[in-house]
Amino acid sequence: MLNEHDRANLEEISYAVSHIEQYIEPVKSLDELLQNHLIYDAVQMNFIIIGEASKRISNEVKKSNPQIDWKGIISYRNFVVHEYFGVDVKILWSAITFELPKLKLELEKILNK
């Protein structure tokens, strides 16, 4: 069972994931994303939020959910914060299109236990 602190952080991650989904709904390609600076910035900010909340999750929850790449999530947050203009947009697009849907499913499983 999740403690209140972990549940709040997992819900914060889930909230940020849903925001990214909303922002990119009209976006059909990486080129479209790069042309819309507002959406790009909003997406990056929500990846930062995901990483921040992931850092605050207990080691117990992280260890019991190794299917989530906690270290990768936190590392991506650090990279975005410190190298904002150096972010590889292909990695960003991959994270949006492939990793976020998987993360969303795993979060739902954890939160619904």
Residues 21, 74, 27, CA angle at the centre, nearest 5°?
Answer: 20
Name the token pair of 25: 């709904």
What's the CA gap between 20 and 22, in Å, rounded? 5
Give pLDDT tens digits for 28-76. Answer: 999 999 999 999 999 999 999 999 999 999 999 999 999 999 999 999 9
- Spans of all domains in the chain: 4-111
What's the CA gap between 18 and 11, in Å, rounded? 10
Looking at 5, 7, 56, 77, which residue is catalytic? 77
Give pLDDT tens digits for 74-93. Answer: 999 998 888 867 788 999 99
Largest CA-CA distance found in the chain, in angstroms, rounded? 43
Q: For this structure, is 19 an active site residue? A: no
Write down the pTM of the prediction: 0.93
Q: For this structure, is 77 an active site residue? A: yes
